[in-house]
């Protein structure tokens, strides 16, 4: 039996006729699908899909060939430490999410999508903006570029609980060195990112300001901060060289937080994402304002379902499943 080890949820973990916004009067069900980011991985992820779906097995084997190594071995039975490597983690989560969406077949009918950090690329394959191979290649290039950026300078991230966003932002601005708000996960939960001494100093200040917790996270670097600029530059060239299609439904991107369908705007936001904060709270709020009534998480874990509920207690959530 595959067990899932406990880990702190590190979340860095068209042309269509638009339906009118949901109201009690028209009672239209609007389905939003959301895709998790780094931190949602676990040993054994995807094995059930591989064993029960010929389509999933074919896509996993294609992924091994595209990546040039047997990622299935690491995902299905590798050591947890191997799975934590950024170059493995990001493709693994992407594969679990995207292949699950494809296996769902006709049951997967999103009217809007969003992804948390890495999950944005999963969402873009799921809504047809990217094909499977191009999406996986971009994820692999993203992971390697971020890993290289992490190695250039010691950096880290920390989770801050129990404070208003503006207070956390002000403490970061007042702290010497590079430290910024990186992930707006839900009200009262914000992740900061930057140089190690600056993040540590900000954590102390935030505790003094009344934070319930200000906890350094076991991550390889300062994701979604200015320290990712080398990775942003490297990935920008790859994104510009990739064909993006008009998606089947809007995506609410981490940078813009609003519905996007224009391929050029999608590319611009995707490039900016590496050094910009993940505005998850704002994205979910905008999806609800635009009519989303059911949020289904596609991929490993249930972290995003929990965050959606904390953003809006009345939102309905579910996990995608097969069988």
DSSP string, 44-82: TTTHHHHHH-HHHHHHHHHHHHHHTS-HHHHHHH--HHH
* Fold entry, domain 31-151+225-319: Malonyl-Coenzyme A Acyl Carrier Protein; domain 2 (3.40.366)
Distance CA 54, CA 59 (A): 9
**pLDDT over threshold 60, residue 178:** yes
Q: Are 4 and 30 in contact (CB under 8 A)?
A: no
**pLDDT tens digit sequence for 224-279:** 999 999 999 999 999 999 999 999 999 999 999 999 999 999 999 999 999 999 99
Our answer to whether residue 117 is catalytic in this structure is: yes
Q: Spot the catalytic one: 96, 97, 140, 224.
A: 224
- Quick one: which H or E segment has residue 31? strand 31-35
CA 43 to chain centre: 19
Coil, strand or helix at 297: strand
Structure tokens at 53: 């779906």
Distance CA 86, CA 149 (A): 12
Strand ranges (DSSP E) for 103-218? 112-115, 155-161, 179-186, 189-195, 213-216
Q: Are 284 and 15 in contact (CB under 8 A)?
A: no
Could you tell me if residue 105 is left (phi over 0), alpha (psi between -120 and 50 degrees) or otherwise beta? left
pLDDT score for 29: 76
* Fold entry, domain 153-216: Alpha-Beta Plaits (3.30.70)
Q: Which residues contact 123 (CB under 8 A, 6 or more apart)?
A: 33, 34, 35, 113, 114, 115, 251
Predicted structure pTM score: 0.90
Our answer to whether residue 96 is catalytic in this structure is: no
Burial-class residue 285 by CB neighbours within 10 Å (0-12, 13-18, 19+).
middle
Burial-class residue 17 by CB neighbours within 10 Å (0-12, 13-18, 19+).
exposed
Dihedrals φ, ψ of 282, to 5°?
-65, -35
- Lookup result for tokens 């939003």: 32
Q: Spot the catalytic one: 53, 97, 117, 193.
A: 117
**pLDDT tens digit sequence for 123-174:** 999 999 999 999 999 999 999 999 999 999 899 999 999 999 999 999 999 9
Calculate the average pLDDT of the chain.
Answer: 90
Domain segments of the chain: what residues? Answer: 31-151+225-319, 153-216
Dihedrals φ, ψ of 297, to 5°?
-90, 130
Dihedrals φ, ψ of 319, to 5°?
-105, 140
pLDDT score for 127: 97
């Amino acid at each position: 039996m595959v067990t899932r080890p406990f880990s702190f949820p590190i979340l860095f973990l068209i042309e269509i006729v638009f339906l009118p916004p949901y109201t009690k009067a028209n009672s239209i069900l609007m389905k939003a699908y959301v895709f998790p980011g780094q931190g949602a991985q676990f040993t054994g992820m995807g094995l059930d899909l591989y064993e029960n779906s010929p389509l999933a097995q074919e896509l996993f084997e294609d992924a091994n060939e595209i990546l040039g190594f047997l990622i299935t071995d690491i995902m299905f039975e590798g050591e947890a430490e191997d799975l934590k490597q950024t170059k493995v983690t990001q493709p693994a989560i992407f594969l679990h999410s995207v292949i699950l969406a494809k296996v769902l077949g006709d049951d997967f009918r999103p009217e809007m999508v969003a992804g948390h950090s890495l999950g944005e690329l999963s969402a873009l394959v799921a809504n047809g903006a990217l094909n499977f191979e191009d999406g996986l290649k971009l994820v692999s290039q993203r992971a390697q570029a971020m890993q290289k950026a992490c190695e250039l300078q010691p950096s880290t991230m920390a989770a801050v609980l129990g404070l208003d966003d503006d207070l956390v932002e002000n403490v970061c601005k007042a702290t010497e060195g590079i430290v910024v708000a990186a992930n707006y996960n839900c009200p009262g939960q914000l992740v900061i990112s930057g140089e190690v001494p600056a993040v540590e100093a900000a954590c102390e200040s935030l505790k003094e300001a009344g934070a319930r917790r200000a906890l350094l996270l076991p991550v390889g670097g300062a994701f979604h901060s200015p320290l990712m600029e080398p990775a942003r530059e490297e990935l920008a060239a790859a994104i510009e060289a990739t064909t993006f299609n008009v998606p089947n439904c809007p995506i609410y991107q981490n940078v813009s937080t609003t519905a996007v369908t224009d391929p050029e705007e999608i590319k611009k936001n995707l490039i900016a994402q590496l050094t910009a904060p993940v505005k998850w709270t704002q994205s979910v709020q905008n999806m609800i304002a635009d009519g989303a009534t059911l949020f289904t998480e596609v991929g490993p874990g249930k972290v995003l379902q929990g965050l959606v509920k904390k953003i809006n207690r009345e939102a309905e959530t579910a996990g995608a499943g097969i069988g």
